[in-house]
């Protein structure tokens, strides 16, 4: 995986600052409501300068908080965010062994989905990731995280990012892809990769890269069927000593 761990401490700092902004916004809103109520009780028709009705102020405060949070995030992470999501939710029926599976594909929406993602990915990982590694990718590129659900259970997921590589190329990166063993051979992995690639292309990506174990033949077959080519062999890339193959898909 590319350089991630060096940014994780900054992500934690960002969380602390974000909480402070939200708390401060709530304090201002509470004080505003109290002043407004006092004016109403005194029969004042005109509000003091700088005082808005609670509804108006709440909207304003929320927008200001969002702006400040966005500024903090851009100070810490300079990568470009994805602005386009062609397909945010879709249900596809797949038949396997005379049984029909209705698989719903959706974009990541909230932190409540993170435990399911971590549980699924950790089953097949060749090396462990901390929760901050997941948050680094998902919080910065939520539109590049897709989940596959069967009866509201997460049975597949993909986690990616999109940023500028060497100040020249806009590169997509597939960091994690996992499918529950009981739900394989349903084209879930292929569909997840295709959806992530569509979002990357909609956001003007030049290429997509990933690493996978050289011994992982199913993964190699999946990606090569989608047009990826073997770009480089990385010796002893994983903690278990296994080599990796870097695969690449060019758009331009």
Give per-residue pLDDT as tens, 146-166: 999 999 999 999 999 999 999
DSSP assignment of the chain, as one string? Answer: --S-GGGHHHHHHHHHHHHHHHHHHHHHHHHHHHHHHHHHHTT-SSPPTT---HHHHHHHHHHHHHHHHHHHHHHH--SPPP---S-SEEEEEEEETTEEEEEEEEE---GGGHHHHHHHHHTT-SS---HHHHHHHHHH-GGGEEEEEETTEEEEEEEEEEEEETTTEEEEEEEEEEE-GGG-SSSHHHHHHHHHHHHHHHTT--EEEEEEETT-HHHHHHHHHTT-EEEEEETT-STTS--EEEEEEE--
Whether residue 145 has pLDDT greater than 80 = yes
What is the per-residue pLDDT across 65-97, written as a single tens digit (0 to 9) for each?
Answer: 333 333 333 333 334 455 555 567 999 999 999
Q: Is the pTM of this model over 0.75?
A: no
pLDDT at 236: 96
* CATH class of the domain defined by 103-250: alpha beta
What band does 190 get if pLDDT is binned at 50, 70 and 90? very high
What is the per-residue pLDDT across 196-246, written as a single tens digit (0 to 9) for each?
Answer: 999 999 999 999 999 999 999 999 999 999 999 999 999 999 988 999 999
What band does 184 get if pLDDT is binned at 50, 70 and 90? very high
What is the rounded average pLDDT of the residues 98-103?
96
Domain map (residue ranges) of the chain: 103-250
């Amino acid at each position: 995986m590319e350089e991630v761990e060096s940014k994780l401490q900054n992500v934690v700092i960002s969380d602390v600052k974000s909480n402070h902004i939200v708390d401060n916004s709530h304090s201002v809103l509470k004080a505003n409501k109290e002043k407004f109520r006092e004016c109403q009780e005194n029969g004042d028709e005109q509000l003091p300068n700088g005082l808005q009705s609670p509804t108006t102020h709440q909207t304003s405060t929320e927008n200001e908080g969002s702006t400040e949070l966005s500024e903090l995030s851009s100070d810490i992470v300079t990568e470009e965010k994805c602005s386009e999501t062609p397909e945010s939710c879709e249900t596809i029926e797949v038949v396997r062994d005379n049984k029909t599976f209705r698989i719903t594909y959706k974009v990541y929406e909230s932190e409540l989905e993170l435990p399911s993602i971590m549980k699924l990915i950790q089953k097949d990982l060749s090396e462990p990731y901390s929760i901050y590694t997941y948050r680094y990718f998902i919080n910065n590129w939520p539109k590049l995280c897709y989940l596959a659900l069967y009866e509201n259970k997460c049975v597949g997921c993909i986690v990616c990012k999109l940023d500028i590589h060497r100040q020249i190329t806009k590169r997509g990166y597939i960091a994690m892809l996992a499918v529950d063993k009981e739900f394989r051979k349903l084209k879930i992995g292929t569909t997840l990769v295709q959806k992530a690639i569509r979002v990357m292309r909609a956001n003007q990506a030049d290429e997509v890269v990933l690493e996978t174990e050289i011994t992982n033949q199913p993964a190699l077959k999946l990606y090569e069927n989608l047009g990826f080519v073997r770009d480089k062999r990385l010796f002893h890339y994983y903690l278990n000593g296994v080599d990796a193959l870097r695969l690449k898909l060019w758009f331009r």
